[in-house]
């Protein structure tokens, strides 16, 4: 009798172990995504896709013919019927910036001496420096240097520094002061990064080659795995 009592739990343990193994195999198959899933039924010339990696990483891109409008990277996990996308990889884009000096004199004009470079310190020749509102501006020289002379006013000038292929940079200039500025422009068109954000998508359907997801706003979308992956 005692032997039987001891044996029963052992058999249960074995059965439980088998169930656990089977379950874990199933779960891992459903919890791991790999490959590129592109959203379907997009308007012509636009895209949205996720690239999932086996190690739990993912990246997201969405945009049109001007490049990515949004993008992000991070880690994903699947729990029950929900896909959690944790945008935890820093993809924040560095903004263009300027540094420099200002001083005051008492003449009826002010001068803005300006040098424009990229983030690697290379001059950006022929950059546009303009106050659109006042319809005044210059094109810098081949070394990205120039002087803009403006009428002295008791107000501000909004100056935009721009060149095709770079993010433009706006600078507020006091109309009574002279400036010597160094401006650094970043590459353009990188899109808006998604960072420090957790997205949750309900999985309505999932197969080896296809996903149907519902976002927080209730929008349902179809995603198909790239057959080349």
Partner 1 sequence: MRIQRLGLAHFVRLTHHPPGQGSCGDASSGYSGTGWVLEVSCPNGNNSTNYFKSTDIASSSATEGCEDCESGPSGGVGVNTLGIINSLDNLCARLVFKKLKTGLFDDDPIKPEIQVPGSNIDLNLSQLILQIFNESKFINYSISNNSEFDVDSNGNYANARTQGAATTLNNEYLKTATELSIARTMIHELVHAYLNLRVSNTMIFEDGFGFIAKMEEFAKANGISDLNSNKFHHEFMGGYVKAMAYSLYEWDKLYGTGGNLGWDYYYKMATAGLSYKNEEGEYVFADSFFELFPKNSDRDDALKIHQNEKAGNKDAKGTKCD
The site for partner 1 (CB under 8 A) is made up of: 36, 38-49, 61-67, 69-70, 125-126, 128, 130, 132, 135-142, 145-151, 162-166, 168, 188-189, 217, 219, 224, 226-228
Residue 45 or 208 with smaller CB distance to partner 1: 45
- Exposure string of 159-189, with b = 16+ CB inside 10 Å and e = fewer, is bebbbeebbebebebeeeebbebbbbbbeee
**Shortest Cβ 121–partner 1 spacing (Å):** 19
Between 74 and 148, CB nearer to partner 1: 148
Measured CA distances, 135 to 7, 83, 158, 159 (Å): 93, 52, 11, 10
Closest approach of Cβ 23 to partner 1, in Å? 34
Longest dimension (CA), the chain: 111
End-to-end CA distance of the chain: 59
Strand order in the sheet with 169-174: 136-139, 128-131, 156-162, 169-174
Q: Which residue's CB is nearer to partner 1, number 31 or number 152?
A: 152
Minimum distance, C-beta of residue 64 to partner 1, in the bound complex (Å): 5
Shorter beta-carbon distance to partner 1: residue 76 or 140: 140
Q: Closest approach of Cβ 123 to partner 1, in Å?
A: 11
């Amino acid at each position: 009798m005692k032997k039987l009592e001891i044996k029963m739990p052992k058999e249960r343990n074995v059965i439980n172990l088998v169930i656990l193994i089977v379950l874990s195999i199933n779960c891992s198959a459903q919890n791991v995504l790999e490959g590129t899933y592109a959203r379907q039924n997009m308007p012509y010339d636009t895209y949205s896709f996720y690239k999932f990696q086996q190690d739990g990483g993912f990246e997201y891109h969405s945009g049109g013919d001007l490049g990515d409008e949004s993008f992000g990277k991070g880690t994903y996990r699947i729990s029950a019927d929900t896909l959690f996308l944790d945008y935890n990889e820093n993809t924040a884009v560095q903004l263009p910036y300027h540094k420099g000096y200002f001083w005051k004199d008492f003449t009826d004009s002010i001068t803005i001496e300006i040098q424009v470079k990229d983030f690697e310190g290379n001059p950006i020749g022929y950059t546009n420096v303009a106050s659109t509102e006042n319809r005044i501006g210059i094109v810098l020289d081949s070394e990205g240097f120039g002087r803009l002379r403006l009428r002295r006013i008791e107000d501000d000038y909004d100056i935009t520094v721009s060149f095709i292929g770079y993010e433009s940079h706006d600078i507020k200039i006091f109309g009574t002061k002279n400036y010597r500025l160094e401006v650094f422009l970043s590459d353009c068109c990188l899109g808006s990064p998604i960072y420090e954000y957790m997205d949750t998508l309900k999985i309505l359907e999932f197969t080896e080659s296809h996903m149907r997801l519902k976002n927080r706003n209730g929008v349902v979308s179809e995603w198909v795995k790239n057959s080349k992956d």
